Structure 1
Amino acid sequence: MSATLCALILTVSALIRAVSGVLGGPTNVTLSSNNLNLVLRWKPPNGAPRGVIYTTEFKSTVASEYRKGCVNISAPECDLTSFNITEYGNYTGRVQVLLGAESSLWVESNHITPDKDTVIGPPEVSVLSNGQTLEVSMTDPKFSHSSLRNVFISASYNITYWKKGQKDKSKQIAVTQTRVILNDLEPNSEYCVQVHIQTSQKPNQSILSRIICESTTDEQSLWVETGIVLVIMVVALVLVVLVMRNWRNISQFLFPKEALPQHFKDPHALLAKPRSSVYLVSSKPVEEFNQVRVVAAEEGRLLEEAGSVCSRQPEGGEGDGDVEKLKEEQTAELLPVDLISS
């Protein structure tokens, strides 16, 4: 039933447009402002054919005529911020639909004053744990015209913080500075922080920032961590001093100055002909030998007997001649034949 009704409405609107020769105008034409910009938005007309384009105009209450905005655009949006507007003006806009030679009637938007009606964005927030306290830092959102503090002189930050899991017991403080220390916190606990901007000119608050949670620590543990850091720094400093004082020895140990001879470094020098005239001559070794006589056991016994006889003779006695004769006989037996004959 609903599908049939929609088809009937589209058919009737198409017939009206064909009879009257006028396009249907855009719907929901709205002028809005975020961070002091000025944007005109709308929706295409019901049953609009493909290929339609739009032209926009705007004016302030102090001007009697409209000024051209975006012309012949296909997107249903026009940013009027760059058309020399001021944050204190009261503006209205209007949109017209175009299709070839056809055009719709102008459809006007609402009136808006940027400094009163703009939506202030969320501030940038960072939270840093410092022992049993939390340091909260805030940055203003960027504005299209001027800045937050120039337009909203009395702007302040509304900080809401609570112990995680206990948002119903949250606390709030309002400050104007961009850095705040939260010191009424419990040690070793996790707290969450959220901030928004409040101004006297605007009854409504800004968009809330994202929630950031950070844990506190114990003061004693903070001193322990600080002591560890100091010890590490002292040790590092001592090492640096020792290295600087003994750098010459260390560098000689790590990078010795002794170098290889040049002829070892150059591979061509190893293959080159030696400069010395003395060469090692490799020739067949010459064998040298002497004649050796093997003495039989009987001959050895005779020599021993001769020695014993000599030992029994008195010094300068009569047996000297016999002994000498016996030695000669034994010696003659030991000598080779060729030596005896000679």
Structure 2
Amino acid sequence: MRRAAVAALLPCLLVALPLRCAGGPGQTSLKSPQDIQVYVVNTNFTLRWNYTGNDTNVTFSAEYRWTFLSYRFEDFGAGETEWKELLGCQNVTGTECDFSSAITEYYDTHHVRVRAERTGEVSPWSNVFEMIPYFIAQIGPPGIELQSTNGIIKIKVSPPEGNQVRKMWIAHLRFKYNLVIWENSSNAEFRSQSISPTDIIDGLAPDTTYCLKVQATLPLESQEGLFSPIQCVKTTCKVNDLLCATNVSVLALNMKFHLHWSNQYKHHVSYNVQYLIGYLKELHDDYSVKWLNVPDCENITNTQCDFSSVITTGFYYLRVQAMSEYNKSCLSKEVKVDPLVTNEIGPPGVTVDASDVLLHIQISPPGGSECEVMRDHYDLSYRILYWKNSSNNEGEIKMKEIKQTIGTVADLTPSTLYCVKVQAFSEVYNKSSNFSKEECIKTPGESSLHLPAPKDVMVYSYNFRSSLRWSPVEVDGGLVLYTVHFKTGAFSQWDEMNCTRIARTECHFPWSLKQRRWTVVLRVRAELGRVTSDWVKTDPFVAERNTTIGPPKLNSVTARSDSLLISVTPPFASEAGDFLQYHVSYWENATTTTKKETRTSNTLFKIGDLKEMTLYCFRIQVELMTHSHLHLLGLQSVPECHTTTISEATRAGYIILVFLLVLLFVAVGLSLLWRHHKTIKYWFQPPLEIPSHFEEYLKDPNMPVLEVLDNYAEDDPHDSLSVVLCGEGSQACGSSLDGQGHSHSISGDNEVT
């Protein structure tokens, strides 16, 4: 008994709330809420539930948590918050609450749960409702403004959440708008149409009340929003202005566009044709000032305009502005032009030639080969009808469809008249042209002439770009042409490959044969007029096995002190399942025979452990490993040589060594200068010379001073310089040096100053 009582009390001890214990005398009778649902319109969140209990004074509270993604390196991955109180959904007396302010992450997973509460007791939590707000949100109704004028209704649409700070739908330009309008009567018929953010609704009865509503949609996400509140407006009577152009329409053939209209004005009138680029109407801006005049269609008096010059792709709106001689103007109804939809495809041109057993059909695309828009966007195919032109109702008509502009018809009867006509069609746009004019030609009769077959027929394939090549057939009397056919391992019927009756001796593989794993067999024959040679077939060719892989393209080489950093580009575009590996062989210089090798799958790699200031050469070779475990080894690149740089440590060592050598040289030089400075001074001392005017005076033989100077020089061997000063006009200088003349002598041991 005691053990059972403890077991009954244990749950109470584990609950840190002042509630009655389950299983005790005060057991709660509150039931859990059921059928939890969350309704989201734009960023407005409403939580609803059902409660089946009969309790009174019951309130409800909700909690939520959300899963988030962490992009930090240390805890990359998903994380989950703790349960938190759901703002706006605490102590609610009803069975719904608004918690819009609590949710700010619209692309994360959220969990919500609800429980019932009464004083002192709570119910168990409800089942958890899981949601990602963006995926369950509904698009709210757009705003609309209406104006009734001149028999039409002008409408301006503002996007859902247009003036809100927090938005569920960020890219409002992706919205499309559907309008539903009806006459406000008992037997009203509803009319739906797509409209632009700023548009007009016409085709309405005058003086009639119409009601309408608008819905925003996201077509790419298959989402349709709620309709706006119904608004009603009464139309006015339309004023029929005879000046306005009427019956505005577009005629387009082979991307040549013409606008036509009618004139009901009896006086002089001129016209300006204006166009608006279509996407400007999709913006929530005023586009009324963005209309442009069509070149060569300004101030014209006729009622048509060629506006092909302004058309590329996209869509456009056109209108006609009529102007009277009194400067009064009127704008016509707008016409929408989607070029590729509005345009009609004209019949192609056809040229037919015949050989022994083939009709050769050359097709000129509608609009000419220079019409890039038709060629690039329509993806034209051609339907060929041909028959024997006999008396029995043109015989049996046969049909052949091709994608190329060159076709052949085989298995013909000799000496028979055949007729051909061709139709162009586009499956993408569900359009087709009229058939071309019939072209008829008679097949030749049996011929005994024989033309030699081409020789040296082989498939040349380099980096998966393949072509068939052969030697020319040399004959006299005309130009030999060649025709090439192909078949694959899956389809054994011979077909054309855009190389029918060509003069060159090479035929490139078309895009339809770019599959590397296909087995392809080709054949070629020579043709001269109506004479043909035998077919020459190739061996089966599989590009994945038989192509030649070239070396990679070398982008850059960065030399460092101990490595070369190399960047390359693969020689071809890889496909899914391909694995490219680069074999790199390198050696120390151009003379050594010792080579090292390394392999890498990166296009930016490094050759390391190199000596500094050393010339290294390398070659690169590509190896392709396919998903079918085939290995193709490519050609080696030409040797590329680069010298490694000097390292910073070596550079510093050289600088220190040079500095020390300079210091040593300076020290030795100073020492030598000090030791031999007298000798150096003697060598660099200029010789003593007597000024020329003194020398002339002293060398006069009548002057007794020369004898005195000679005796003085013998008595005193020292270097000396004597300066004799005599007064101007003195006679004493002539009799004696020791007389009244003043003599200064400065002498020394080999020193003169």
**Match of 1:220?**
648
Q: Give yes or no for contact 2:473–2:480 (8 Å, CA) kept in 1.
A: no
- Distance in structure 2 (CA, Å) of the matches to 1:48 and 1:150: 51
Q: Residue 46 and residue 33 in structure 1: after superposition, are their counterparts in 2 closer, same or farther (change >3 A)?
A: same
Q: 1:195-210 alignment to 2 at 5 Å?
A: 195-200=620-625, 201-210=629-638
Q: Residue 54 and residue 222 in structure 1: after superposition, are their counterparts in 2 closer, same or farther (change >3 A)?
A: farther
Letter in 2 for 1:118: T
Q: Give yes or no for contact 1:40–1:77 (8 Å, CA) kept in 2.
A: yes
Q: Give yes or no for contact 2:451–2:526 (8 Å, CA) kept in 1.
A: yes
Q: Residue 151 and residue 72 in structure 1: after superposition, are their counterparts in 2 closer, same or farther (change >3 A)?
A: farther
Q: How far off is 1:219 after superposition?
A: 1.0
- Distance in structure 2 (CA, Å) of the matches to 1:173 and 1:77: 39
Q: Give yes or no for contact 1:160–1:195 (8 Å, CA) kept in 2.
A: yes
- Distance in structure 2 (CA, Å) of the matches to 1:149 and 1:86: 10
Q: Give yes or no for contact 1:124–1:140 (8 Å, CA) kept in 2.
A: yes
Kindly provide the CA deviation profile for residues 38-63 of structure 1, in whole angstroms up to 9, marking residues without a partner as x: 21111123546540101111111111
TM-score by length of 2: 0.26
**Match of 1:82?**
511
**Match of 1:128?**
558
Letter in 2 for 1:213: C
Letter in 1 for 2:453: G
**Match of 2:525?**
96
- Distance in structure 1 (CA, Å) of the matches to 2:568 and 2:451: 50
Q: Residue 113 and residue 128 in structure 1: after superposition, are their counterparts in 2 closer, same or farther (change >3 A)?
A: same
**Match of 1:116?**
545
- Distance in structure 2 (CA, Å) of the matches to 1:47 and 1:151: 49
Q: Residue 105 and residue 48 in structure 1: after superposition, are their counterparts in 2 closer, same or farther (change >3 A)?
A: farther
SS of equivalent to 2:452: coil
SS of equivalent to 1:207: strand
Q: Give yes or no for contact 2:566–2:604 (8 Å, CA) kept in 1.
A: yes
Q: How far off is 1:152 after superposition?
A: 2.4
Q: Does 1:139 align with 2:572?
A: no
Q: Residue 95 and residue 136 in structure 1: after superposition, are their counterparts in 2 closer, same or farther (change >3 A)?
A: same
- Distance in structure 1 (CA, Å) of the matches to 2:465 and 2:521: 13
Letter in 1 for 2:557: V
Q: 1:181-260 alignment to 2 at 5 Å?
A: 181-200=606-625, 201-220=629-648
- Distance in structure 2 (CA, Å) of the matches to 1:35 and 1:63: 25
SS of equivalent to 1:115: helix
SS of equivalent to 2:534: coil
- Distance in structure 2 (CA, Å) of the matches to 1:68 and 1:138: 38
Q: How far off is 1:157 after superposition?
A: 0.3
- Distance in structure 1 (CA, Å) of the matches to 2:546 and 2:577: 13
Letter in 1 for 2:617: C
Choose the corresponding residue for 1:171, options 596, 600, 613. Answer: 596
Q: 1:1-342 alignment to 2 at 5 Å?
A: 20-45=448-473, 47=475, 50-69=478-497, 70-125=499-554, 126-142=556-572, 147-148=573-574, 150=576, 152-153=578-579, 155-200=580-625, 201-220=629-648
SS of equivalent to 2:613: coil
- Distance in structure 1 (CA, Å) of the matches to 2:483 and 2:512: 15
- Distance in structure 1 (CA, Å) of the matches to 2:487 and 2:478: 29
- Distance in structure 1 (CA, Å) of the matches to 2:522 and 2:508: 11
Letter in 2 for 1:163: E
Kindly provide the CA deviation profile for residues 107-150 of structure 1, in whole angstroms up to 9, marking residues without a partner as x: 111211111211112101232101222112221013xxxx2253
Letter in 2 for 1:107: V
Please identify, of 56-65 and 123-132, the stretch whose mean Cα deviation from structure 2 is larger: 123-132
**Match of 1:263?**
none
Taking every aligned residue pair, what percent have the same amino acid on both sides? Answer: 25
Q: Give yes or no for contact 1:38–1:81 (8 Å, CA) kept in 2.
A: no
SS of equivalent to 1:116: helix
Q: Give yes or no for contact 1:131–1:222 (8 Å, CA) kept in 2.
A: no
**Match of 1:308?**
none
Q: How far off is 1:206 after superposition?
A: 0.6
Q: How far off is 1:217 after superposition?
A: 2.0
- Distance in structure 2 (CA, Å) of the matches to 1:60 and 1:47: 32
Q: How far off is 1:151 after superposition?
A: 5.2
Name the structure, 1 or 2, with higher relative contact order (CA <8 Å, separation 6+): 1
Letter in 2 for 1:205: L
- Distance in structure 2 (CA, Å) of the matches to 1:33 and 1:65: 23
More strand by share: 2
Kindly provide the CA deviation profile for residues 146-191 of structure 1, in whole angstroms up to 9, marking residues without a partner as x: x2253522x2000011111344201001111112222211111000
Kindly provide the CA deviation profile for residues 226-257 of structure 1, in whole angstroms up to 9, marking residues without a partner as x: x9xxxxxxxxxxxxxxxxxxxxxxxxxxxxxx
Q: How far off is 1:79 after superposition?
A: 0.1
- Distance in structure 2 (CA, Å) of the matches to 1:122 and 1:65: 37
Q: How far off is 1:202 after superposition?
A: 4.7
Q: Residue 177 and residue 222 in structure 1: after superposition, are their counterparts in 2 closer, same or farther (change >3 A)?
A: farther
Instruction: Count residues in correspondence.
Output: 202
Letter in 2 for 1:36: F
Q: Residue 49 and residue 171 in structure 1: after superposition, are their counterparts in 2 closer, same or farther (change >3 A)?
A: farther
Q: Give yes or no for contact 1:37–1:81 (8 Å, CA) kept in 2.
A: no
Q: Residue 27 and residue 35 in structure 1: after superposition, are their counterparts in 2 closer, same or farther (change >3 A)?
A: same
More helix by share: 1
SS of equivalent to 1:148: coil
Q: Residue 103 and residue 87 in structure 1: after superposition, are their counterparts in 2 closer, same or farther (change >3 A)?
A: same
- Distance in structure 1 (CA, Å) of the matches to 2:477 and 2:463: 35
- Distance in structure 1 (CA, Å) of the matches to 2:613 and 2:480: 63
Q: Residue 137 and residue 48 in structure 1: after superposition, are their counterparts in 2 closer, same or farther (change >3 A)?
A: farther
**Aligned-CA RMSD value:** 2.3
Q: Give yes or no for contact 2:584–2:599 (8 Å, CA) kept in 1.
A: yes
Unaligned runs of 5+ in 1: 1-18, 228-342
Q: Give yes or no for contact 2:586–2:619 (8 Å, CA) kept in 1.
A: yes
Kindly name which structure, 1 or 2, has the bigger radius of gyration based on alpha carbons. Answer: 1
Q: How far off is 1:222 after superposition?
A: 8.0
- Distance in structure 1 (CA, Å) of the matches to 2:514 and 2:632: 23
Letter in 2 for 1:197: V
Q: Residue 141 and residue 39 in structure 1: after superposition, are their counterparts in 2 closer, same or farther (change >3 A)?
A: same
